[in-house]
Amino acid sequence: MLTTAKVALVLMALLVPVAKFLGVLEPEGEPQYTSDGQMKFPEHYREWVYLSSGFDMSYSSEGSGMADHHMFDNTFVNPEAYKVFVATGHWPDKTVIVLESRMAKGRGSINQKGNYQDEQIMGVSIHVRDDARFPGKWAFFGFDGGQTGKMIPTTATCYSCHQDHGAVDSTFVQFYPTLLPIAKAKETLAARYLKEIMAPEEKEPL
């Protein structure tokens, strides 16, 4: 007999593939590449899950030439990876983290003080985990407004800095306010990061 439970089971099994086929589900965030090893720009990243924003952040105390302007950085992750992080405190294979830099505007419309974000994007960087593709699992790609972006060589400082200072899986979860409590609760913070925040190195005075 065709019970309601059986109907529900069949529909559940069919649902996701059929939905994908019909394009009803959200665009997915799996990384795509060109035949020459560039990464395709994930055009729907603004509909992914937002992680956080920074304002004029810099990992160097020597300044970054921002005397004449201000910048925002917005970070997004593909929804599939976000769900796994919320459940486990770790990033899965095929995680795509997008860092978008935008110019800041000051006074404008009714805004009298502080800053809001301009339409102008200054650049996009992507940190992607793809275990079968990259020997170190993760890679960085840079985009300058084009449809594809080149991989940043693994000798670049972004790799060693993320490896040395990333709170979880070489990513800067310490700057993502809704994910940091999850990593704490699930005890997935990197040992190196825990050591760093317990006994911070001598820092220069401000």
Residues that bind its own copies in the complex, under the rule CB under 8 A: 8, 11-12, 14-16, 18-19, 22, 24, 26, 46-47, 49-50, 52-61, 63-64, 70, 72, 74, 76, 79, 82, 102, 104, 107-119, 161, 165, 167, 172, 174-175, 177-178, 180-181, 196-197, 203, 206
Supply 123's token pair: 């650049």
Distance CA 81, CA 143 (A): 21
Beta carbon nearer to its own copies, 39 or 173: 173
Nearest approach, Cβ of 94 to its own copies (angstroms)? 18
Nearest approach, Cβ of 36 to its own copies (angstroms)? 30
Question: What torsion do the CA atoms of 152, 154, 160, 161 make, to the nearest 10 degrees?
Answer: 0
Nearest approach, Cβ of 83 to its own copies (angstroms)? 9
Distance CA 75, CA 161 (A): 18
Spell out the residues 6+ positions from residue 159 whose beta carbon is closer than 8 angstroms to its own. 136, 138, 140, 152
**Spatial CA neighbour of 94 closest among 105, 82, 106, 104:** 82
Nearest approach, Cβ of 30 to its own copies (angstroms)? 18
Beta carbon nearer to its own copies, 11 or 156: 11
Residue 140, SS3 per DSSP: strand
**Spatial CA neighbour of 194 closest among 170, 172, 157, 165:** 165
Nearest approach, Cβ of 101 to its own copies (angstroms)? 12
Spell out the residues 6+ positions from residue 19 whose beta carbon is closer than 8 angstroms to its own. 25
Nearest approach, Cβ of 37 to its own copies (angstroms)? 29
Beta carbon nearer to its own copies, 141 or 176: 176
Beta carbon nearer to its own copies, 111 or 147: 111
Beta carbon nearer to its own copies, 16 or 131: 16
Cα 33 to chain center, whole Å?
18
Beta carbon nearer to its own copies, 121 or 152: 121
The torsion angles phi and psi of 151, rounded to 5 degrees, stand at -70, 135
